[in-house]
Structure 1
Amino acid sequence: MTSTLDTEPVAGLIAELYERAAAVPRPGPTTASGPSDPPRSAAEQAKAAEDRYMPISPDSGRLMYSLIRAARPHTLVEFGMSYGISTLHLAAAVRDNGVGHLYTTELSEKKIAAAQHTFADAGLADVVTILDGDALETLRTVDGEIGFVLFDGWKDLYLPVLELLEPRLSTGCLLIADNTESPGAAPYLERVRLPANGYTSVNFPGKEADTMELSCRV
C-alpha cells in the first residue's frame, strides 16, 4: 500500500507548496516580538508574516508522518499552520491511520483561506479543523486527550501553549517543537528537558541551522 503522502493529489500539492515557499525569502527565527521592537499584538504579527511560508523540512514532515502512523493518536494539535505544508503531512497520517482528527491554529485570514482550498483539493478537509484566532483561546475548545502536538508558531509562545494543553496530554503523547535554536524557545526546552516535569526529550538537527525537539509525555 502506498501512503497518502506519496500519492496524488497530496504529493503534488506538497511539492507545489515547497516550490512556492522556496521563492519567498525565509526569515530568521521568529518570536511574538523582538527585544527592541515595540509590543505588537499576535494579530499584527500574523498580518506582518502573511506572505511567509516558514515550512518544516521535507525530512521533518516524513518523520512526523511516521510517528503519527506508529502512535495512532486520536486527537492531534498543531500550533502554527501557516500555509499548511506541515498540516498536510499530519493529516495524511491521520487519513492512513483511519482514526483521529487534527486541530490546527492560525491567525492570518489570508493563510486560512489558502489552506482551506489546499485541504479540500487534497481530500483531507474532513480530518482537519482550522481554529481561527488566538491559539491561547481557541485551543481551549479542543476536547479529549491529546496524543500528538506540533509546535511551529511564535517560539516564545511554545511554553504558554504547552501549559494550556498539558492537563489534556495523554501518557505517551508525542510533542515536536520546530526551530528550537531560537532564544524564544528556551523556556519551553527547560520545561520538557527536566525529567521531574514528566517528559523525556531529545534534540536533533533540522533544516540548515534549525533544530527540533522530540519529547514524550511519560
Structure 2
Amino acid sequence: MNTLHAPRTRALLDRLFAAAEHDDVAEVSPIDFAAASAQERADAVASVYMPVSATGGDLLYALVRGARPETVVEFGTSFGISTLYLAAAVADNGTGHAYGSELSATKLAAARANLDEAGLGAHATLLPGDARESLAGVPGPIGLVLLDGWKDLCLPVLRLLEPKLAPGALVVADDTTFESMGDYLAYVRDPANGYVTVAFPVEDGMEISCWT
C-alpha cells in the first residue's frame, strides 16, 4: 500500500507544491532575522511554505517505510508538506506515530487541516510552540527525526532528542547547503558524537545520519 498515490493525497500534495512555487520573500515582514527571536522569524514568514522538495519527501517516505519507527519527530512542520509524507508512511506501516512542531499558529492550523484532508490526521500530532520545549515531552524511543526548522536551532533540537534516540535511529537534516548549517554538519560528521552520516544530493541538500 502507498498512500502517497491515493487520489486525495496526491491531489493535495500537487496543490501544495504548486502554491509553494509562488513563495515570495518580498512578502516577508521586514525584520532583522539575525537579531530576531525564533517566534518573530516564524511570524514574519507565516505565509511562506519553505517545503522539502518532492524528491526529499519521497526519500522521507521510503526511510520511514523501511525503518518502521514507532516514533517519528519533525522539527519545523510549516504547512505540513513533509508531515504528509511522514504520516503517510506511518499509516502504511500500520504502526508508529509522527510528532511535528511549529511556531507559527497560522501554519499550524493549515498543517492540521492538510493532514485531515488527506485522511492522515490520526497518524500525526502537531505541537505548538518552541520545539526546544514542545518536543521535550515526545515519548521515546525515537526512530527517525527530520530537522527542517530554523537552521541555527537544528543542533540544539538534536541534542535535546539524543537521549531518546533508538539504536540505529535515522536523523535527516534538510537544507544542508545553507551556511547556517555549518555547526550542525560539523557535529554529526565527527565520529566522536556517535553518528555515521552521508550527504544526500537533493534540492538544497540533505544529511542522513545514523545514531550508532
* Structure 2 residue 96 is the aligned partner of structure 1 residue 97: no
Match of 2:195 in 1: 199
* CA separation of 1:99 and 1:17: change in aligned 2, threshold 3 A: same
Unpaired runs of 5+ residues, structure 2, are: 27-31
Deviation track 1:103-125 (CA, whole Å, cap 9, x = no partner) reads 00001111111111111111111
Deviation for aligned residue 1:93: 0.2
Deviation for aligned residue 1:176: 0.6
Considering only aligned residues, what root-mean-square deviation do their CA atoms show, in Å? 1.3
State the one-letter code of the partner of 1:21. Answer: A
State the one-letter code of the partner of 1:18. Answer: F
Distance 1:145 1:102 in 2: 12
Distance 2:4 2:89 in 1: 8
SS in 1 for 2:7: coil
Structure 1's consecutive aligned runs of 4 or more residues displaced over 2 angstroms after TM superposition are: none
* Structure 2 residue 211 is the aligned partner of structure 1 residue 217: yes
Deviation for aligned residue 1:26: 6.0
Deviation track 1:63-111 (CA, whole Å, cap 9, x = no partner) reads 1101110100000000000001010001000000000000000011111
Deviation track 1:121-180 (CA, whole Å, cap 9, x = no partner) reads 111111111110000000111012100000000001011001100111111100110011
Match of 1:30 in 2: none
SS in 2 for 1:9: helix
TM-score by length of 1: 0.92
Deviation for aligned residue 1:193: 0.6
Deviation for aligned residue 1:204: 2.1
SS in 1 for 2:101: strand
* Structure 2 residue 80 is the aligned partner of structure 1 residue 81: no
**Equivalent pairs, count:** 207
Q: In percent, how many aligned pairs have the same letter?
A: 51
Match of 1:63 in 2: 59
Q: Is the 8 A contact 1:60 1:206 kept in 2?
A: yes
SS in 1 for 2:36: coil
Deviation for aligned residue 1:205: 1.9
Distance 1:26 1:5 in 2: 29
Unpaired runs of 5+ residues, structure 1, are: 28-32
* Structure 2 residue 169 is the aligned partner of structure 1 residue 173: yes
State the one-letter code of the partner of 1:138. Answer: S
TM-score by length of 2: 0.94
Question: Counterparts in 2 of 1:99-138, with a 5 A limit?
Answer: 99-138=95-134
SS in 2 for 1:180: coil
SS in 2 for 1:214: strand
Distance 1:162 1:22 in 2: 29
Deviation for aligned residue 1:196: 1.6
Q: Is the 8 A contact 2:140 2:166 kept in 1?
A: no
Distance 2:13 2:91 in 1: 16
Deviation for aligned residue 1:8: 2.0
Q: Is the 8 A contact 1:26 1:54 kept in 2?
A: no
* Structure 2 residue 190 is the aligned partner of structure 1 residue 186: no
* Structure 2 residue 44 is the aligned partner of structure 1 residue 48: yes
Deviation for aligned residue 1:51: 0.7
Q: Is the 8 A contact 2:74 2:99 kept in 1?
A: yes
Match of 1:6 in 2: 5
State the one-letter code of the partner of 2:153. Answer: L
Distance 1:176 1:200 in 2: 12
